[in-house]
Structure 1
Amino acid sequence: MMDFAKEVIARSHEVPVLVDFWAPWCGPCQFLAPVLEKLAAEAQGQWALVKVNTDEEPEIAAQYHIRGIPAVKLFHRGEVIAEFTGAMPEFQLKQWLAKHLPDPLRERIEALFVQLLEVAPADIAKSIEDLYQQQASKAEVQLLQALWQLRQGNIQEAQSLLQEVHPQDMQWIERKQHLLTLAELLSCTPTGAAQNALANAQQAWKKGNMEQVIEQLIQAVMLDKRFQDELPRRATIALFQLLGESHPLVKQYRRRFDMALY
């Protein structure tokens, strides 16, 4: 009996672990297995392959709801982050791995995005400057630099950066749009019923108080939903997306924001 907790869960905190659920009688499993083994060898330790015979480990198969095989699940930091069922040709499997394998550089950039919204820019200046010197050509790093400029109040510099960067991945295309929305918020001239709330949101941004930014934006949504093509709504969504759904502020204000829309 295998020690799944040690071989997969614990190991996945060191490197991503690809688990192949299979059985000796399964024809597609026999097709997929050598492809997985070849790619695992080529990865040279960047990710690990673990095979689970569902006939010998029915409890593990049941725990992970295996209903058809081959079933492949990718574990990272103890959690399943991607999966598929059935056999794949090698070229398609390479594309799947490229899409779903964790990227340490991307994770570092994403962490810095959130930190830039939580702490004073000076507190993480060295981390961002080091990253920019090493990876200045990457679109994700350029987007991080744009947020860095926004946090320092350099709106025009941020907008110029955003006009020049062209990410290819949909996640980062959306992130670019969120940054453009925040730049629009910070450069607008508040008017109408939501004037005070929007001005307060701009001041709270300058002070780095994101909770107050969200508070005032929700207030602006309730006062004037239509201001500048629904800018308060768009800016709130932009902040929520940049912080991430699991962030405490997003959890705290999501319901109030949803209620403000109606």
Structure 2
Amino acid sequence: MNSAQARSEHVFDATRAAFEKDVIEASLTTPILVDLWAEWCGPCKSLGPILEKLAAEYAGAFRLAKIDVDAEQQLAAMFGVRSIPTVILISGGQVVDGFAGALPEGQIREFLTRHGVQPAEAVETEATQAPAESPEDAINRIQQAIAAEPDRAELKLDLALALMRAGRVEPAQAELDALPANLATDARAVRLRSQLELARALTDAPPLDVLRTRVQNDDSDWEARDLLGVRLLIEGDTEAGLQQFLDILKRQRDWHDGQAKKRLLAAFATIDDAALVSTYRKKMASLLF
């Protein structure tokens, strides 16, 4: 496959006008690797061909979206890009990770593998799938890796995420707080921070049925409605949870220093359903603006 064919099949130029459809919605089925670059950027010229080569080699396991930051300044601003090249992985409608600078090919392969992105051929030839790793097994595995390589700070972020998946909120918070500055702003760390914020809100909170009863008895019991929204989110009834926050925002916008808006933003950072997030972002915006 020559480079022109590879670009036409697996690489495309992302624009603001089509970003929602071509990147966010498309990532629901195929991971999208976003390459933010510019013509004048020297490192971009070395990184770009590597990314396009990998896009061709991985044969559809991910797609590469190229964003010229000079031509698409609003997209660059949306990602908060401070330097280029910057590469961001979007999957399931959400930013899941990224890196800055022109990494060597081997490290980019490790980055993709860490997020479950493998060459299509490798996926097809896997005869069996390994059993799913339990949260506790993941914690033990990562702790052993940290003991072997204590200077690999990214492993500590992996540990914080594993602790959160196991429901161990305080240890996860402690690991998150101890991360170095360059990882504290990592997309996964930002998402974890939102998850922990929601989980901590339920400390000593009443159970779901009690909160439902309180809201039914007094639909202006904003505290009960707020906690009900968090419980519904945590327990998987995502849209119902978002609706509770939206109701507070609609009827008592400034309650608790605008907490409903903060809850919605934290929830958006943790929800994998891009279409649902988009719908409720628009509803929130219509109330705020």
> Aligned equivalents of 1:106 and 1:215: distance in 2?
35
> Aligned equivalents of 1:259 and 1:11: distance in 2?
36
Cross-structure match for 1:171: 186
1:260 matches 2:260: no
Cross-structure match for 1:112: none
Structure with a larger share of its residues in helix: 1
Provide Cα deviations, 1:43-65, integer angstroms capped at 9, x if missing partner.
8xx87289xxxxxxxxxxxxxxx
Task: Report SS of the residue matched to 1:145.
Answer: helix
The letter for the 2-side match of 1:79 is: L
Q: 2:64 aligns with which of 72, 79, 82?
A: 79
- The answer on whether the counterparts of 1:204 and 1:212 sit within 8 Å (CA) in structure 2 is yes
Task: Report SS of the residue matched to 2:133.
Answer: helix
Cross-structure match for 1:126: 133
Identity within the alignment, %: 14
> Aligned equivalents of 1:98 and 1:188: distance in 2?
46
Cross-structure match for 1:225: 253
Cross-structure match for 1:249: 276
> Aligned equivalents of 1:49 and 1:223: distance in 2?
51
- The answer on whether the counterparts of 1:155 and 1:186 sit within 8 Å (CA) in structure 2 is no
Residue 180 (structure 1) shift: 3.8
Provide Cα deviations, 1:185-243, integer angstroms capped at 9, x if missing partner.
33376997412311321331343211222111222323443444433221211121233
Provide Cα deviations, 1:5-51, integer angstroms capped at 9, x if missing partner.
x33344669xx8x9xxx9xxxxx9xxx79x849x97xx8xx87289x
Structure number with larger C-alpha Rg: 1
1:145 matches 2:162: yes
Residue 247 (structure 1) shift: 0.9
Cross-structure match for 2:6: 7
> Aligned equivalents of 2:181 and 2:251: distance in 1?
35
Count of aligned residue pairs for this structure pair: 197
Cross-structure match for 2:112: 104
- Structure 2 stretches of 5 or more lacking a match? 12-29, 71-83, 87-99, 118-130, 147-154, 207-213, 215-219
- TM-score, normalised by the number of residues in structure 1: 0.52
- Structure 1 stretches of 5 or more lacking a match? 23-27, 51-74, 86-91, 110-123
Q: Aligned in 2, Cα 1:230/1:77: closer, same or farther, shift over 3 Å?
A: same
- The answer on whether the counterparts of 1:181 and 1:231 sit within 8 Å (CA) in structure 2 is no
| Superposition RMSD in Å | 5.0
Cross-structure match for 2:262: 234
